[in-house]
Amino acid sequence: MNDEKFTITISKTGPYKVEGPTKLVDDSGQPIETREGKPFFLCRCGHSSNKPFCDGTHNRQEWDAELTS
Ligand code: FES
């Protein structure tokens, strides 16, 4: 078993940063390619043209970045 941990960091006004050993799959379980060993960023605003990844559009759109609990 792999003891390495992954971390998801919620940026205050942008995407989720995912780093560490993990795999990303779609809703049918098919893998979505990420750069091995590199962090990737998942869109949190809903405006990316490259979902599920952030493409920086959140910087040009108005959206509510506030977290709910
Ligand atoms: S969070 Fe960056 S484009 Fe959506």
Q: Tens of pLDDT along 35-57?
A: 989 999 999 999 999 999 999 99
pLDDT of residue 69: 67
Contact 32, 25 (CB under 8 A): yes
- CATH number for position 38: 3.40.5
pTM: 0.89
| Domains of the chain: total | 1
Inside any domain, residue 4: yes
Span from the CA of 3 to the centroid of ligand 1 (angstroms): 30
Determine whether the shortest distance from the Cβ of 19 to ligand 1 is under 6 A. Answer: no
Inside any domain, residue 15: yes
Confidence of residue 2 (pLDDT cuts 50, 70, 90): low
Report the mean per-residue pLDDT for the chain.
93
Inside any domain, residue 29: no
Span from the CA of 2 to the centroid of ligand 1 (angstroms): 30
Inside any domain, residue 64: no
Determine whether the shortest distance from the Cβ of 17 to ligand 1 is under 6 A. Answer: no
Share above pLDDT 90 across residues of the chain, in percent, rounded to a whole number = 83
Mean pLDDT of 53-67: 94
For residue 49, CA distances in Å to 4, 7, 9, 55 come to: 32, 24, 21, 7
